Amino acid sequence: MPLEMKEKMSYCPTCNIVKPARTKHCRQSNCCIKNFDHHCPWTGNSVGLRNYRMFLAFIVTTAVASFLNAGASIFVFINSTKKGDVIHEIICPVFFVWNLLVFSLVGALCGFHCFLICRGQTTNEFLRGERNGGGGGGLECFVKSELLAMDGFPGLEDENLDVEEAGRALEILQEALAP
């Protein structure tokens, strides 16, 4: 690709691709992620368009589980018939405090992501101070992805479509660069 075309487009030199809108290269995963949200150290992958639903489900279930564990800990502590036992006097309150702490932190993270969904932003866009995440509703992560399934392989028909799209894109760019 000529240098003048690369300058006019969002191009990733590491992946050697033209990046679609709202795509960012993740240094930890070493690949471009569409609608890049963040790289999550707890799940060990980048969160973007294809796995945002799973990430959201992960933090919601973690928050709910910690809330239920905190409630179970306090229930066992209050309804215990063995007063003076180490399990009931020390471990139940420690579990309660730990689960309450986890619930408050993960619950806040869950609330923050609900806020981002309503605004149509990603965490990356929010931290960079971009006002609008790129158009469309905030629930685009819940719409079925246009990308292939992880187990799907492109066939000859897909390759022909890619070649046609690339040809059209080059024609448009050449027209734009023409004096």
What is the average per-residue pLDDT within 60-88? 85
**Active-site amino acid positions:** 40
Average pLDDT, the chain: 80
Question: For 130-155, what is each residue's pLDDT tens digit?
Answer: 766 555 445 555 555 454 454 455 56
Buried b / exposed e along 47-66 (16+ C-beta atoms within 10 A): bbbbbbeebbebbbebbeeb
The confidence score (pLDDT) of residue 158 equals 64
Q: Greater confidence, 19 or 114? A: 114
Q: What is the mean pLDDT of residues 38-48?
A: 88
Mean per-residue pLDDT, 29-43: 87
> Does the pLDDT at position 75 exceed 80?
yes
- The H-or-E segment that residue 39 falls in is strand 38-40
Supply the pLDDT for residue 17: 80
Q: How far from the centroid of its chain's Cα atoms is residue 161's Cα?
A: 28
Average pLDDT over residues 34-57: 89
Dihedral sign, Cα of residue 163, residue 166, residue 45, residue 138: negative
What pLDDT score was predicted for residue 104?
96
User: What is the model's pLDDT at position 1?
Assistant: 58
